Chain A
Amino acid sequence: KQEVTQIPAALSVPEGENLVLNCSFTDSAIYNLQWFRQDPGKGLTSLLLIQSSQREQTSGRLNASLDKSSGRSTLYIAASQPGDSATYLCAVPNDYKLSFGAGTTVTVRA
């Protein structure tokens, strides 16, 4: 059974600092890994999808790396802004279902 862990559970930083969010998974035989953002009471917004053959993906200020062999992914958010405050979830396919981490709740202080 795929277990996904996210560290830290919560993070508070001043505006402008870079954010580093960690995700680990127990079964390295994954097809891809996806990072999502969730605002309170809302749905999930896909941020980045990394295929198993890739080592990283970038979108604007966001960069996600993937190390399948060690079962780890890291999401970097550069020059954080108050609008980045949200919960960030990583997820990997487990058969055809998604296994989610518990998320990292980020607060960016103005």
Chain B
Amino acid sequence: GAGVSQSPSNKVTEKGKDVELRCDPISGHTALYWYRQSLGQGLEFLIYFQGNSAPDKSGLPSDRFSAERTGGSVSTLTIQRTQQEDSAVYLCASSLVGQGGGYTFGSGTRLTVV
């Protein structure tokens, strides 16, 4: 597509429920990233996918967080047993190559855990 698409744009969930956030990157972009931005905070790296390589999961804050990327394209970030501290804007980005190309971000998913 023309840009990085994220869905849903907003999600309100009850504490303890599981949520799935979706990211559809730019066609042909081999690298995909998830970041999190809590209210008033900077961007926190979560996970990185590059082609068929094993993802870098070093930024995932706990084992309640997981992500997958199917067919080298669409990615899903899953948060199990959500907690109030998970409330944030989750941003997805893609790029053509790991470092030489620019990054294109989606408009984000605002997650609110009540």
Contacts and interface: CB of A to CB of B under 8 A. Distances in A.
A95 B91 CA distance: 19
Interface residues of A, number: 22
B105 interface: yes
Interface size class of B (residues with CB under 8 A): 20 to 34
B102 A34 contact: yes
Contacts of A97: 33, 45, 48, 56
Interface string A76-110: 00000000000001010101111010110000000
A42 B107 contact: yes
Interface string B38-67: 000011010010100000100000000000
Which residue, A43, A45, A96, A100, has most C-beta atoms of chain B within 10 A? A43
A93 B45 CA distance: 12
8 contacts: A43-B106, A44-B105, A91-B103, A96-B99, A97-B56, A98-B33, A98-B103, A102-B42
